[in-house]
Amino acid sequence: MALDTPVRQDPGLASSDPKASDAAPARIALVGNPNSGKTALFNALTGSRQKVANYAGVTVERKEGVLTTPAGRQMRVLDLPGTYSLRARSPDEVVTRDAVLGRLAGEAAPEALICVADATNLRLVLRLVLELKRVGRPFVLALNMYDIAQRQGLRIDLERLSREIGAPIVTTVATRKRGLSELLEQVERLVVPRGDAVDSVWREPSAAEIRAAHAEAQRIFKACVKPPERPDTMTGKVDGVLLHPVAGLAILLTLLFVMFQAVFTWAKIPADAMDHLFGAFGAWTAAHLPPGLLASFVSDGLIAGVGSVLVFLPQILILFFFILMLEDSGYMARAAFLMDKIMGGAGLHGRAFIPLLSSFACAIPGIMSTRVIDNRHDRLTTILVAPLMTCSARIPVYGLIISAFIPPRTVYGVLSLQGLVMFGLYAAGIVSALLVSFVIRRVFWRGAVEPFMMELPTYRWPEPRNLLMNLWTRARIFLERAGRIILPLMVLVWVLSTFPYPPPGATGPAIDYSIAGRIGHLVEPLMRPIGFNWQMTVALVPGFAAREVAVATLGTVYAVGGDADSHAALSTLLQHQWSLATALSFLAWYVFAPQCAATLGVVKRETNGWLWPSVMFAYMLTLAYIASFVTYHVAVALGAG
């Protein structure tokens, strides 16, 4: 079968079939096992023409894109969460099952399915294929990573396999865009003629039916797939090292250490360049606008506020780069196995490792990805501790305080002292998550953690195009967040910090008489025992909406704006305004504080009520206050006050 025919993705190209071009876009869905290359195929089919949202009523991520077939027909493609069976045991799998069956509220049923399979590992996917055959929805089987199967000498009788499953088969290499046109031609045959899709009749199979389906899948596999002539022995050799209980764990910890060091050190040059750019833009704006309210609003409120957050985009992208590399290479599953014993001792399921590592980027997708955990108690425990992981929204706060109070020198001539402090903050989050989960499992519910089983995917080189596309998606989400959340909040902070004006004859700073100043002075007595001043208190209020806003708020409250380097100016100012004890207390607060309203909202939706978000908010706020109190007073006692 052809493997090198390109697929067109330009909707502006004329169609050779006028009926095809006039027809409304067909809806197709990708379904398959995890680690089958399904998302890579989705990216190859849709390119940049895709959007990410959530399904109605749930927080399962929804990826949909648009493509144009070689015949000129437009199709909408839905990338469904990975599953091994339609017998859904987790929220992710429930969404996939309901999408296949046409049961999602407000979602039209797909007119055809593309079942994506790893050509080198067909044994597991055949059970899912038989379930799809039983459902009756038209589908085509895409044997992905077929080039690897060929290199291994894996012999697959495609014609017989097609007869056995009652569906066409196309071999593909998604990362090289091979086989896509043939795949789409098969899909077009399935959706023509098109009719109204109806709910498929399907019921939960009995134990006897499950055993029969498993036996049938085994029969088909043995009849159609012969052992590879050149089996992959490299994976076993590499796993012998990476899964070793001592060497493997040491390698994992080294990788995490390098990742956290890189977040601070690698991003310095681009972050400094962005800071200088925003600072110069703010200074230029202030110089060309007439002095007064408008100049202050644009320079100090908008540019300085949003710019002070966007300068940390390089650090956030570096963090995502490492996480995506671990996922795409197949190492993430190995890391989960390595951490299973440690996490099990703390009351966490081994599958919790991936959601918790994802929470380093953002707690929201981390919490959403706990849907892969079947047991309700294990899942709730993971949800409750996920926000303790140091998410990317904390990076602006950590970066500001570290750059202001930790000297930029090296340790042992190689390691960055600032990077070591950053690693220490990440480590504090990890240790606290393990301790809290240990307590939760013994206070709220007791019992052993269920055994951990996960398929180990084949190692593969991450595809640069997919890596860049995913990084761009994350950058776009961050920029949209800056425009949708941070910008309005900074306008609000500027208004609260500016109005009302000081009364005639006032001698104090103007901000003391503003609404923000009055709020800060009112709450300050509660925060004084942990070393916080009223400006810090003001920064915490909008920080509950989005953690990173605290940096921009400090810049506005301290009236830093219009400098050549506003971030550097704010760092210098904090060095003179805060003691080291106060700075350390502020960092301790941000290790634990539940300063993200969106995270609480997601927990509410995932747990179907306000009980667990309330528990999370209360325990994290308590931990934050205690940690800041202890940190501040110990630092003062040691002479850092």
Per-residue pLDDT tens for 32-41?
988 888 988 9
Contact by Cβ (8 Å): 456, 259: no
pLDDT, position 20? 43
254 and 217 in a common domain: no
358 and 400 in a common domain: yes
pLDDT, position 573? 86
Confidence of residue 481 (pLDDT cuts 50, 70, 90): low
More confident residue, 628 or 604: 628
pLDDT, position 264? 65
186 and 42 in a common domain: yes
Q: 347-356, 415-424, 560-569, 616-625 — which is least confidently predicted?
A: 560-569
pLDDT at 629 over 90: yes
Query: Please, what's the b/e burial string for 587-613 (b: 16 or more CB within 10 A of its CB; e: otherwise)?
Result: bbbbbbbbbbeebbebbbbbbeeeebb
337 and 218 in a common domain: no
Grouping H, G, I as helix, E, B as strand and the rest as coil, residue 563 is coil
pLDDT at 522 over 50: yes
Report the C-alpha gap between 368 and 61 in whole angstroms: 8
Report the C-alpha gap between 617 and 623 in whole angstroms: 10
Residue 603 lies in a domain: no
Q: For the chain, report the end-to-end CA distance as a whole number of angstroms.
A: 73
Instruction: Tell me the CATH number at 167.
Output: 3.40.50.300
Across 402-421, average pLDDT: 85
438 and 358 in a common domain: yes
Residue 272 lies in a domain: no
Confidence of residue 218 (pLDDT cuts 50, 70, 90): very high
Q: Can you state the angle between helices 417-443 and 247-265, rounded to 10 degrees?
A: 120
Report the C-alpha gap between 36 and 40 in whole angstroms: 9
Residue 485 lies in a domain: no
Residue 67's beta-bridge partner residues? Answer: 75
Q: Is position 43 annotated in a ligand binding site?
A: yes
Domain boundary pick from 395, 416, 443: 443
User: CA 309 → CA 94, 179, 589, 593, distances in Å?
Assistant: 37, 43, 19, 19
pLDDT, position 346? 82
Residue 539 lies in a domain: no
pLDDT at 627 over 50: yes
CA neighbor of 360 nearest in space, from 439, 271, 274, 425: 425
pLDDT at 55 over 70: no
Percentage of the chain beyond pLDDT 70 is: 86
Q: Is position 466 annotated in a ligand binding site?
A: no
215 and 349 in a common domain: no
Percentage of the chain beyond pLDDT 90 is: 25
Q: pTM (2 decimals)?
A: 0.64
More confident residue, 326 or 525: 525
Q: Is position 81 annotated in a ligand binding site?
A: yes
More confident residue, 11 or 205: 205
Q: Is position 79 annotated in a ligand binding site?
A: yes
pLDDT at 11 over 60: no
Q: Is position 51 annotated in a ligand binding site?
A: no
Domain boundary pick from 410, 428, 443: 443
Q: Is position 37 annotated in a ligand binding site?
A: yes
Contact by Cβ (8 Å): 400, 539: no
Mean predicted lDDT score pLDDT of the chain: 81
Across 311-333, average pLDDT: 82
Q: Is position 175 annotated in a ligand binding site?
A: yes
Confidence of residue 9 (pLDDT cuts 50, 70, 90): very low
pLDDT at 103 over 90: no
Residue 366 lies in a domain: yes
Report the C-alpha gap between 436 and 321 in whole angstroms: 29
Q: Is position 35 annotated in a ligand binding site?
A: yes
Q: Is position 365 annotated in a ligand binding site?
A: no
The β-bridge relationship of strands 26-32 and 74-79 is parallel
The β-bridge relationship of strands 155-156 and 112-118 is unpaired
Q: Is position 47 annotated in a ligand binding site?
A: yes
Give the model confidence (pLDDT) of 581-595 as tens digits: 999 999 999 999 987
User: What residues have CB less than 8 Å from 82, skipping those under 6 apart?
Assistant: 32, 33, 34, 35, 36, 38, 92, 96
Report the C-alpha gap between 464 and 470 in whole angstroms: 10
pLDDT, position 614? 93
User: CA 23 → CA 9, 74, 75, 107, distances in Å?
Assistant: 17, 8, 10, 19
Report the C-alpha gap between 483 and 481 in whole angstroms: 5
> Phi, psi (5° rounding) for residue 8?
-85, 140
CA neighbor of 147 nearest in space, from 461, 529, 549, 499: 461
Q: Is position 39 annotated in a ligand binding site?
A: yes
pLDDT at 8 over 60: no
258 and 181 in a common domain: no
74 and 124 in a common domain: yes
pLDDT, position 7? 40
Q: Is position 36 annotated in a ligand binding site?
A: yes
pLDDT, position 56? 47
Secondary structure E strands in 352-493: 410-411, 415-416
pLDDT, position 181? 92
391 and 321 in a common domain: yes
154 and 78 in a common domain: yes
Across 126-145, average pLDDT: 92
User: CA 418 → CA 265, 347, 414, distances in Å?
Assistant: 8, 32, 12
Q: 110-119, 236-245, 614-623 — which is least confidently predicted?
A: 236-245
Grouping H, G, I as helix, E, B as strand and the rest as coil, residue 470 is helix
> Phi, psi (5° rounding) for residue 52?
-115, 130
Residue 49 lies in a domain: yes
Q: Is position 33 annotated in a ligand binding site?
A: yes
Domain tally for the chain? Answer: 2
Residue 492 lies in a domain: no
Q: Is position 80 annotated in a ligand binding site?
A: yes
Within 13 Å of residue 70, how many CA atoms lie on the same side as its CB? Answer: 14
Grouping H, G, I as helix, E, B as strand and the rest as coil, residue 32 is strand
Across 313-318, average pLDDT: 81
Contact by Cβ (8 Å): 120, 152: yes
Contact by Cβ (8 Å): 388, 620: yes
Report the C-alpha gap between 529 and 478 in whole angstroms: 35
Query: Per mean pLDDT, which of 187-191, 436-440, 499-503, 617-621 is the most reliable?
Result: 617-621
Q: Is position 34 annotated in a ligand binding site?
A: yes
Q: Is position 46 annotated in a ligand binding site?
A: yes
125 and 63 in a common domain: yes
Give the model confidence (pLDDT) of 145-190 as tens digits: 999 888 888 999 999 999 999 999 999 999 888 999 999 999 999 9
pLDDT, position 450? 59
pLDDT at 335 over 70: yes
Q: Is position 116 annotated in a ligand binding site?
A: no
Q: Is position 32 annotated in a ligand binding site?
A: yes
Domain limits for position 160: 18-226
Residue 367 lies in a domain: yes
Q: 3-7, 302-306, 567-571 — which is least confidently predicted?
A: 3-7
pLDDT, position 215? 93
pLDDT at 353 over 70: yes
110 and 197 in a common domain: yes
pLDDT, position 222? 94
pLDDT at 273 over 50: yes
pLDDT at 196 over 60: no
> Phi, psi (5° rounding) for residue 193?
-80, 150
pLDDT, position 502? 83
More confident residue, 45 or 236: 45
Domain boundary pick from 443, 470, 485: 443
